[in-house]
Amino acid sequence: MTRASGAAHSGVLREAVAGDVRHFTSVLLGDVNSAIASGILFEGLVTQLRSGEMIPALADSMPELSEDGRRYTFRLRRGLKWSDGRPLTARDVAFTWRLMWDADYAELKSPRRPELERHLEDIRVEDDETIVFCTRTPFGPFVTTHGTYGILPEHVLGDMTGAELNDCDFDRAPTVANGLLRYAGRREGEEVVLERNPLYHGGPSRLERLRLLVHASHDEIADLLLAGEVDVGEIPPWRAEEIEQAPDLDLVEFDVPNFEFCLFQLDPERPQSELFRSVDVRRALNWGTDRDAIVRDVFCGHAEIAHSVQPLTSWAHDPAVEPRYAYDPSRAERTLDAEGWLPGEDGVRRRDGRRFSFTLAYNGGAPLQQRVAEQLRNDWARIGVELLLGPLPFAQLLEQMRYGREFEALLMNFGVGADPEISNLWASRNRVTGAFNGQGFADDEIDRLLDEAAASHDREERRERYVRLQRRMAELCPGVLLVYPRGLFVVNRRVRGTGFGSFNRYSVRPWLKDVEVA
């Protein structure tokens, strides 16, 4: 929409989120609600349109790439300021990245460290407005995957150690910002309030404040939207039809770069992996999963069956990936028989005196995850496998994936992003504590394909590697790919200018500047 002249419009936008904000600093966050708040407060060098196209943010243009494909030169917009009036310079950019990369900050628990240590060779500040990143080899995903990290203030955080930054006041209540809005306060477990930043480089927001209202579930958010008590929120699929009939609400539906999947513990050093060490056992669990029922009965048609670790939104998605695991409980039973897992008197299979029984950890505060878990329990009971449900608060679930890693199986919704680079989830180097490969997956061919795909700026060359990777992952089936869910956001018609889409519904929202509330 066209920006009206004159002073910024006032208005308060009430957005409901399912769960609290855990981190504000971009280097620590790993959950959706933290990403929303942090992304609004702290802009990166570049940002993203809903199509996935990258555009400049704090940088005045997209970076210059050297002929050897290893050096990225960014030039910042002139006159950038923090909300306290201090200049924002290339030193702040270098500082932010060093928190995730430099050995001096190794104690900072950033999930991005393994990838940056692998690929980033050097950071050079040439002047206040120019910074150069040097990668060890050509690295195709660099800008799209890493360029959006929110820049943090060296003048506020520069005297802290990595260990101190893990649990600092700034991460709970940031005193300065560079984004469209700045922090105004919070009530733990209830709301986070962001207010207009008058020093934002693009001019002041039309909004006076954004209230992120914390609620227990997307079901509860749907009720609040229907009652007019919130303006924006994400809803569960079984509420879509009801929302569509509401005269004052608009439902926005789109494909998202996510997949819902159940991953198995595969770290051979952990006893929890014993049940899943055979690829045929893992395949049997795949054949025993009724994904059609999950799409129909859980997602109410607002999802598609997932066959690949690249979502539908990815330019590297292979629609012909093989092998596939259509629902075939008879084949699952025959496979388990061949593996020595034979039916017991209670209907649960046994081998060498052990029952085929394990616990699935999942977000107990999310009814959608509860329903998926129950469907898996029912499906696998039909083939003689007992699934015990282990609901956890989301913070504990994330802790289990990244740190505790004592789970047997874990249900997760994982986002990939606009670039198909997925080393953070599947590369063996990301088995380290704090990174996202919490299941301990490792395969030499997958590592090689990930590195070869990343070490190129040629999209077709990269896609060929990712197609091979998708097929290798389908052969290994380290878990059970379930569905590609769709995004379902609801906006009250008194709100104008929102632009929710595949790649900028959460942390990156370049459209937020022109949102206004009537």
Q: Write the pLDDT tens digit of every residue in 398-451.
A: 889 888 899 999 999 988 888 999 999 999 999 988 888 999 999 999 999 999
Contacts of residue 355, defined as CB under 8 A and 6 or more positions apart, other chains included, come to 344, 348, 349, 386
**Which parts of the chain register pLDDT below 50?**
1-9
Confidence (pLDDT) at 275: 97
Confidence (pLDDT) at 260: 96
Confidence (pLDDT) at 2: 30
* Backbone φ, ψ for residue 394 (5° rounding): -55, -40
DSSP annotation of 144: I
What is the 3-class SS of 397-465, one letter each residue?
Answer: HHHHHHHHCCCCEEEEEEECCCCCCCHHHHCHHHHCCCCCCCCCCCCHHHHHHHHHHHCCCCHHHHHHH
Q: Residue 54: in which H helix or E strand, if any?
A: strand 54-56
DSSP annotation of 87: B
Confidence (pLDDT) at 432: 87
Confidence (pLDDT) at 402: 86
Q: How far apart are CA 362 and CA 295, in angstroms?
A: 18
Burial environment of residue 64 by CB neighbours within 10 A (0 to 12, 13 to 18, 19 or more):
exposed
Task: Specify the residue for token string 């105004």.
Answer: 184
Confidence (pLDDT) at 508: 85
Contacts of residue 13, defined as CB under 8 A and 6 or more positions apart, other chains included, come to 207, 209, 210, 211, 231, 232, 495, 515, 517
Contacts of residue 461, defined as CB under 8 A and 6 or more positions apart, other chains included, come to none
Q: How far apart are CA 480 and CA 301, in angstroms?
A: 19
Contacts of residue 361, defined as CB under 8 A and 6 or more positions apart, other chains included, come to 390, 391, 392, 397, 400, 407, 408, 409, 410, 411
pTM score, whole prediction: 0.89
